Structure 1
């Protein structure tokens, strides 16, 4: 029997660039929690942002934020991981040399960006509604740093893929470098991922992996999809993601509807 459902947000539960839950999704998740099934929002987004997306559900659900860097259940931090300060400095110096990517440095209390690109700033502040601080030099942000994310909104996914391979060649022995959506590359602390965070959470909740269901669409979801007993890749997922999942679906909501139909 399924006792927990975990879902990625962008490109999975939230489709087409949506920044809020659909009424149907909200209703389905509420009905699941009323049946005693735990729901976990598992995203590369910051915790404050996830809380806003799920404002109507508050602490009825749990949160895995920053691609597993922090896991919070009913206001309690279950796990947290940070990036070595020297490694942060070297990554940021390399990105600055490239020059075509905007940077987000994430702490638990806020994310930090520079005011270089009006469209990017608008996206972070007014579209995503992140808790944000604008700084003159991203390299001067004090830690502890949970995650570094970079974005190219102008040149297309092929540029992102090419630069990701370059960054992996440079840093993959020290840190995880993954795509998160079509225009984002994330740097996540070693051993940190959504699956590892979910494992810590279910240990706290006394739930087994085979009693869990998960949804995802990108390479930052792979460990979570592999960890649970039943997993779904989205039909429009990144190439190869379906290899790591049990099933493929067009709609998280449709699967949740089917799950609810099996419950007493």
Structure 2
């Protein structure tokens, strides 16, 4: 069995428990294993992610917005943005779906128009820098849109995704992926956690068999496939369990931490 040189983990439903808490020993583990690249891979905004690790930012590489941007030591390694004319056309289509809220996820801030209280609560959970009351994309100045996150409370898989799944046409420029029970993320076709992770592995000369990944939902699928030592959480979607090599204990049972302590000394 190869020595593990990289560990990548999703946040919500994977590393964090349902109360959105980190395993108590996770940061100390990362700090004491400097020889391992520790990657936090999430659909969350970068500025939100670093709030979870206020004293340990330099111990991690951050894949944010589902792979559209990667930060290391506070600096972007790369950014993958969507053309603004494509964003404008997408918004017209998405707003035809009843009850949705859209977040335009920029490299510098997130942007939203008026939303209801339920959507606002969920948006504030995942985005630390947000500009409200956006009436037009013309108001966005000097920023790149990395992703469009679409919210429909508890109906992402049953109602929202089916309405925009056609974006996954192989000839298209975009992809739509379920990132939670209320969220669908739309990005450039080649943008995902797996593509971003592969770039990191190439930079540091790390092989798939030297890499470990943890995930629970569809936006973790490509990342799970990139790493030979892949784990789906016990609470993961069945599709992720089918793709992963192993099953880890649930997020509420600190499954990521248990596997790390078991596999890495």
Q: Same fold (TM over 0.5)?
A: yes
- Closer, same or farther: CA 169–66 of 1 in aligned 2, 3 Å: same
- The answer (yes or no) to whether the contact 1:93–1:139 under 8 Å persists in 2 is no
The aligned residue for residue 135 of structure 1 is 133
Deviant stretches of 4+, over 4 Å? 138-141
SS at match of 1:192: coil
C-alpha deviation, 1:77, in angstroms = 2.1
- The answer (yes or no) to whether the contact 1:3–1:212 under 8 Å persists in 2 is yes
- The answer (yes or no) to whether the contact 1:10–1:17 under 8 Å persists in 2 is no
Unaligned runs of 5+ in 1: none
Q: Which range moved further: 214-223 or 85-94? A: 85-94
- The answer (yes or no) to whether the contact 1:59–1:73 under 8 Å persists in 2 is yes
Which whole-Å deviations, capped at 9, do the CAs of 1:83-118 have from their partners, x for residues lacking one?
A: 122221121111211131111111101111123212
User: Which of 159, 162, 165 pairs up with 1:165?
Assistant: 162
- Closer, same or farther: CA 105–183 of 1 in aligned 2, 3 Å: same
Note the aligned Cα RMSD (angstroms): 1.8
Which whole-Å deviations, capped at 9, do the CAs of 1:170-191 have from their partners, x for residues lacking one?
A: 5643311001011100001121
The aligned residue for residue 13 of structure 1 is 15
Is the counterpart of residue 176 in structure 1 residue 197 in structure 2?
Answer: no
Which whole-Å deviations, capped at 9, do the CAs of 1:206-264 have from their partners, x for residues lacking one?
A: 2112111000111111111101120001111122111211101121111011123xx3x
TM norm structure 2 = 0.89
- The answer (yes or no) to whether the contact 2:102–2:150 under 8 Å persists in 1 is yes
- The answer (yes or no) to whether the contact 1:102–1:150 under 8 Å persists in 2 is yes
- The answer (yes or no) to whether the contact 1:212–1:230 under 8 Å persists in 2 is yes
- Closer, same or farther: CA 71–150 of 1 in aligned 2, 3 Å: same
Q: After superposition, where does 1:195-206 map in structure 2 within 5 Å?
A: 195-206=194-205
Structure 1 Cα separation of the partners of residues 123 and 228 of structure 2:
35
The aligned residue for residue 193 of structure 1 is 192
- The answer (yes or no) to whether the contact 1:216–1:225 under 8 Å persists in 2 is yes
- The answer (yes or no) to whether the contact 1:105–1:138 under 8 Å persists in 2 is no
- Closer, same or farther: CA 169–114 of 1 in aligned 2, 3 Å: same
Structure 1 Cα separation of the partners of residues 139 and 68 of structure 2:
18
- The answer (yes or no) to whether the contact 2:111–2:134 under 8 Å persists in 1 is no
- The answer (yes or no) to whether the contact 2:167–2:176 under 8 Å persists in 1 is no
Structure 1 Cα separation of the partners of residues 137 and 158 of structure 2:
24
Between the two proteins, the alignment pairs up a number of residues equal to 254
TM norm structure 1 = 0.89
Structure 1 Cα separation of the partners of residues 199 and 22 of structure 2:
26
The aligned residue for residue 5 of structure 2 is 3
Q: After superposition, where does 1:80-159 map in structure 2 within 5 Å?
A: 80-125=79-124, 127-128=125-126, 130-137=128-135, 139-142=137-140, 143-153=143-153, 156-157=154-155
